[in-house]
Structure 1
């Protein structure tokens, strides 16, 4: 089973070292960034399961970083870890989209429990029902194999772990391959809502899938301006 990947964005090296040490001991895979600018670069390099970030940091503060990440992915869990303990600071964090907020000095055991709660909640979110005779658990998409229950995309010896939403969207696109699919229909069926915010998220997820599927030239995701998308696969 793949280790949970955590991005820790913290400019205090002593605190960062302590937190990373305890998370490593618990089996988490932790990457550390020392400020908000570096944090965004690290976020763009890999798929993370959780982000822990400070608020007051040089170059780019945590609020700004969280807003930029939320614009790319509304669903990735974000936990703020800050010495700012006023109600207005916490309210601002939650309005941006924080999943939790802990104050310094950090109690590491409490932090670990909060992380476990966030990840457990993330796993228990409702998913699109899997499998029937017309919708197998393993789906061949060009040269790729989508293992939907385990959310893995395989091509040759290369395996990529997908998020729940990525796996659901890819399976949905394959169901409607080679047809024009309206944006509103995708959002209603996969997200359960077609509001503007989730529409922006859809574009981000489509860009990710294009990147994941780039090794097979017979697969293409076309953006039909003002209408929707076409998922083209040469069967």
Structure 2
């Protein structure tokens, strides 16, 4: 696993590098945004040596950590970004999350907690795999929970009540069903469901369609059990509610 540490305080950067390497990780360090982004792009374009996680300071020379996070998200939607910053205001944390980061730790920090968070973020990332082609055709009627999907009629039946679906709603629901249990990124969904139209669609559109589907198929859309969010990754379809 390869980590990219973006930190301008050299002593801290070297301390992080040492401790991460003791855990078995390969570590790159960068003191500023352009260097960090060059490292990240080079690894990403190699297609076999990607950065698996970014540890990011916010107060950096020339280019803020917020800007770096935004640029990284334009390149890679999935890679975990963990902020390590002296900024403690809730506004700073909220904006960091808006820029696409996954977790936020304030300095000074406890090393065991940092290592644990890195480990858990990497474990979550490993769940995200490219969506394979469907292995078999779905039947005309598909049942999950208290829902029956009629693919030919573009309808679903929920507790005896029939509801119509638009073409895109049905395509998105079918895509989730075909990839049951898999974590699907927004970029995968855009490419596979929207196809040639994806250049004109934003990830916010996907989120809105998911909200619409949840209102149709979930007993409680605010606490979905079938179309569930995976923070920092995307969505997963679960035909049955997970047991406690």
> Which bin holds the TM-score, normalised by the shorter protein?
0.5 to 0.7
Deviation at 1:30, TM superposition (A): 0.4
**Equivalences for residues 4-83 of structure 1 within 5 A:** 4-46=1-43, 47-83=50-86
* Selected match of 2:202 from 190, 197, 200: 197
Larger radius of gyration: 2
* Selected match of 1:107 from 100, 110, 114: 110
- Residues 10 and 198 of structure 1: CA distance in aligned 2, closer, same or farther (over 3 Å): same
Q: 2:18 & 2:200 partners in 1: Cα distance?
A: 41
Q: 2:91 & 2:61 partners in 1: Cα distance?
A: 21
Q: 1:5 & 1:77 partners in 2: Cα distance?
A: 12
SS of 1:7's partner is strand
Aligned pair count? 149
RMSD across aligned positions (CA): 3.2
Q: 1:14 & 1:39 partners in 2: Cα distance?
A: 17
Q: 2:76 & 2:36 partners in 1: Cα distance?
A: 15
SS of 2:104's partner is strand
Q: 1:119 & 1:194 partners in 2: Cα distance?
A: 30
Deviation at 1:124, TM superposition (A): 2.5
SS of 2:109's partner is coil
Q: Is there any run of 5+ residues in structure 2 with no aligned partner, and where?
A: 44-49, 137-182, 205-244
Give the corresponding residue for 1:222. none
Q: 1:58 & 1:121 partners in 2: Cα distance?
A: 31
Q: 2:201 & 2:117 partners in 1: Cα distance?
A: 31
Q: 1:29 & 1:130 partners in 2: Cα distance?
A: 33
Q: 2:94 & 2:69 partners in 1: Cα distance?
A: 14
- Residues 195 and 101 of structure 1: CA distance in aligned 2, closer, same or farther (over 3 Å): farther
Give the corresponding residue for 2:218. none
Give the corresponding residue for 1:128. 131
SS of 2:82's partner is strand
Q: 1:194 & 1:121 partners in 2: Cα distance?
A: 28
SS of 1:119's partner is helix
Deviation at 1:165, TM superposition (A): 8.4
- Tell me the TM-score normalised to structure 1 length: 0.56
